[in-house]
């Protein structure tokens, strides 16, 4: 009997590890979002003109940002991938800003993301760009999808057209975001 328990335990552990790894792979499968299909297009007027209030009291909308390279970065304070993603956003320099880069962070407004917690997150992560809070219905409008997983990043060129859309974060996504922003900043 005592020999049977370790064998069952080993089999159970292997089964659980297999299921866990399979679940992790499914979680990272690409999600097809309508926003990906909109690369190269202008955002809907209702999105471009939607005004967002930042935590510092300033207001922002895409329509007023034409002429700049705009990065909208949707994140959550409780999300590990968002924490890994923020250093990519904070790696851009003051020189990039002078060349026309505008990053806007948008924290998902949920029970865990209170204004106080978002302020603490901004300080912890050393975020220097404007941050606002966004509710799911507005988030869905911007990404044109029911997928409100985070992080999600939209990059708009100087002409206001969507040039790239990213979901999730890993080193490859971070490198591609950086390359896309630099490429767009080099366009006049």
Q: What is the pLDDT of residues 102-152, one digit of tens each?
A: 999 999 998 888 899 999 999 999 999 999 999 988 888 888 888 888 999
The β-bridge partners of 107 are 75, 133
Q: Give the predicted TM-score (pTM) of the model.
A: 0.80
Assess whether pLDDT exceeds 80 at residue 60: yes
Q: What pLDDT, on a 0 to 100 scale, did the predictor assign at position 19?
A: 37
C-alpha angle 48-37-28 in degrees, rounded to nearest 5: 110
Write out pLDDT tens, residues 149-160. 899 999 999 999
Strand partners, 164: 155
- Distance spanning both ends of the chain, measured CA to CA: 76
């Amino acid at each position: 009997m005592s020999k049977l328990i370790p064998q069952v335990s080993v089999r159970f552990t292997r089964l659980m590890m297999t299921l866990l790894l399979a679940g992790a792979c499914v979680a990272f499968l690409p999600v097809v979002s309508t926003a990906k299909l909109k690369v190269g297009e202008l955002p809907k007027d209702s999105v471009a003109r939607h005004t967002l209030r930042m935590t510092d009291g300033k207001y922002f909308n895409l329509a007023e940002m034409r002429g700049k390279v705009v990065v909208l970065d949707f994140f959550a304070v409780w999300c590990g991938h968002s924490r890994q993603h923020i250093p990519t956003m904070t790696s851009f320099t003051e020189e990039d800003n002078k060349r026309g880069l505008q990053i806007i962070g948008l924290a998902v407004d949920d029970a865990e993301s209170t204004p106080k917690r978002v302020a603490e997150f901004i300080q912890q992560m050393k975020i220097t760009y404007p941050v606002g809070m966004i509710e799911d219905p507005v988030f869905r409008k911007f990404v044109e999808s029911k997928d409100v997983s985070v992080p999600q990043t939209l990059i708009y060129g100087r002409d206001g057209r969507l040039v790239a859309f990213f979901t999730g974060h890993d080193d490859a996504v971070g490198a591609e975001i950086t390359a896309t922003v630099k490429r767009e900043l080099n366009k006049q």
